[in-house]
Structure 1
Amino acid sequence: MKKLMLLSVVGMLILTSCVSKKEFMALETKHKATQDLLNSATVKLNKCLSDEAASAARLEELKNRLADMKSSNQALIENTKDMTVLTTQGAKNVEKSLESLKEKDLKISRLQDALSKKDSVTLALVTSLKKAVGIDDPDIEINVEKGVVFISIADKLLFQSGSYNVTTKAKDVLAKVAKVIKSKPDFEAMIEGHTDSRSYSKGVLIDNWDLSVKRSTSIIRVLQELGVNPGQLIAAGRSSYVPLADNDTAENRAKNRRTRVVVLPKIDQFYEMIEEEMKNLSAEK
């Protein structure tokens, strides 16, 4: 081993002795420059590798952010579509509500027109009755209650006390009433009998209910004889339960004994008039 090392040293001395010092210095300088270049290239390479890793990480981050942005953008698009649908539906609902309000206003207007027509007919009827019957007789009263026309005739003009037979004088008054009823074939006339509170019983009549209804039917028969269509007539009795005054004096009891002729439009025809207005409304849509 020592021999081998000795031979190596000798060899190096021989080789060194073979190269001039100048050439050796030149080679050494060149070697140093090469080493410097290698070191510089190594530093640059390491920097490039580091930059590449940083760029890759940045790229991955940007990709993730882009994916998040795409997701958010899609969600916004979907929300916008939903909002558009809601806004459109809301506009349609508002439009329908406005149309509904217009329709209701028009229906109310139609009903008001129908009621106005009825009121006009009622006013004309009152005028006709007052002209035909006369308004100077204190025992005959013509009025309107809640849109209904009625004639109230005192008991003494129609019947003897405690009787349901119509007097001859009463027929003159009823002839005038019959004339008006006949002129209004689209109306009905309800003959409504009223008594005072004193108990009554005679023959087959056992109380004031019987008496009030019997007086009503007696007047109806007279009106029918005078040419009134019986289909327009309604018999009714109220006994003593709708008084005009307390039954504490003879005068007040006389007020309560009366017959009312209630003239009113036929209910079915009134509704037909309203239905006709509704049909006109539907046809105009």
Structure 2
Amino acid sequence: MRLRALTIAAVAAMLGFTGCVSNKKYVALQAEHDSLQKQYNASQVELAETRANGKSLESLLAQARANNEELKRSYAALQKSLDNSINQNTQGNVNISKLVDEINASNRYIKQLVDAKSKSDSLNLALTTKLTRSLDSSEMDDVNVKVLKGVVYISLADNMLFQSGSYDVNSRAMETLGKIAKIIKDYGDYDVLVEGNTDPVPINRTNIRNNWDLSALRASSIVQVLQNDFGIDPSRLTAAGRGEFNPVADNSTEVGRQRNRRTEIIITPKLDQFLDLIDKAPETNEQ
């Protein structure tokens, strides 16, 4: 505005004194006017740019403030998420610790079972070796010794032990039973099950109803010989009859029926030892 006033005053002065100034001075004044006009125009442009820049700065400041608020909200959300993660991680550490304890307990239990099985296998092998070494070649024809699933089976042919249809033990079987009894005594931690087995041919005796009776009576006779003649603790002994229903060979042939007529002495680790291991099994806590 000041520049405009100066310009007007200069023009008025020029008009007032046109008659009394020289042409040279007029030209100088005109040049000065043009210069002032250019300065004025430049000032107007500069003013407009300054106003525009002021508005732009205000817009940037508003955007910056909005961004700052968004950052604050994001920070709060992240902090909450972090707190939740820390809490969950603490609970997870507790659960992992419990799981590790359960795994260690289970591993100890498995080791107990493996040790028990290894001990049983070793004892069974030693028992079998001792027994087979004690038998002579003639006895081995009528005695079969094997280990199956951790159990020792001694199978005795019935023609060595009994007369046909009888449950009285032959005197010639006593020597073999004595050798078996000695092995049984050496392994006092084992129980002994005696099972009688027959072929399916019906029996015709007044005091024996069927093959169930015969198999049970034969098993009972062997048990009593082991107890009374060789001093085996009767609490370790069990007698059982399986009749004709546990064959190991085809009953359609005489050879097969002869194999099925047998008495088995089954030597097993005491059941309560395994039950003790089961009782010691680690408990699992369900979450």
TM-score scaled by structure 1? Answer: 0.71
Look up the match of 2:182. 179
**Correspondent of 2:200 among 197, 200, 212:** 197
Look up the match of 2:209. 206
Aligned letter for 1:272?
A: D
Look up the match of 2:256. 252
Query: For structure 1, which segment, 157-166 or 95-104, has the greater mean C-alpha deviation from structure 2 after superposition?
Result: 95-104
Look up the match of 2:236. 232
C-alpha change, 1:135 and 1:69, in structure 2 (3 Å) is farther
Partners of 2:137 and 2:237 in 1: how far apart?
24
Instruction: Please show how residues 126-205 of structure 1 align to structure 2 within 5 Å.
Output: 126-134=128-136, 137=139, 138-205=141-208
SS of 1:169's partner is: helix
Aligned letter for 2:257?
A: R
Query: For structure 1, which segment, 90-99 or 50-59, has the greater mean C-alpha deviation from structure 2 after superposition?
Result: 50-59
Identity, in percent, stands at 37
C-alpha change, 1:161 and 1:69, in structure 2 (3 Å) is same
Look up the match of 1:219. 222
Look up the match of 1:123. 125
- Could you tell me which runs of 5 or more consecutive residues in structure 2 were left unpaired when the two chains were aligned: 1-15, 17-43, 45-49, 283-287
Tell me if structure 2 keeps the 8 A contact 1:132–1:180: no
1:76 aligns with 2:90: no
Tell me if structure 2 keeps the 8 A contact 1:142–1:152: yes
Instruction: Please show how residues 3-82 of structure 1 align to structure 2 within 5 Å.
Output: 62-82=64-84
**Correspondent of 2:266 among 262, 269, 277:** 262
Aligned letter for 1:141?
A: N
C-alpha RMSD over aligned residues = 3.9
Query: For structure 1, which segment, 246-255 or 193-202, has the greater mean C-alpha deviation from structure 2 after superposition?
Result: 246-255
- Could you tell me which runs of 5 or more consecutive residues in structure 1 were left unpaired when the two chains were aligned: 1-24, 26-42, 280-285
Partners of 2:266 and 2:63 in 1: how far apart?
95
C-alpha change, 1:182 and 1:202, in structure 2 (3 Å) is same
Aligned length: 250
Tell me if structure 1 keeps the 8 A contact 2:223–2:239: yes
TM-score scaled by structure 2? Answer: 0.70
Query: For structure 1, which segment, 208-217 or 105-114, has the greater mean C-alpha deviation from structure 2 after superposition?
Result: 105-114
Look up the match of 2:113. 111
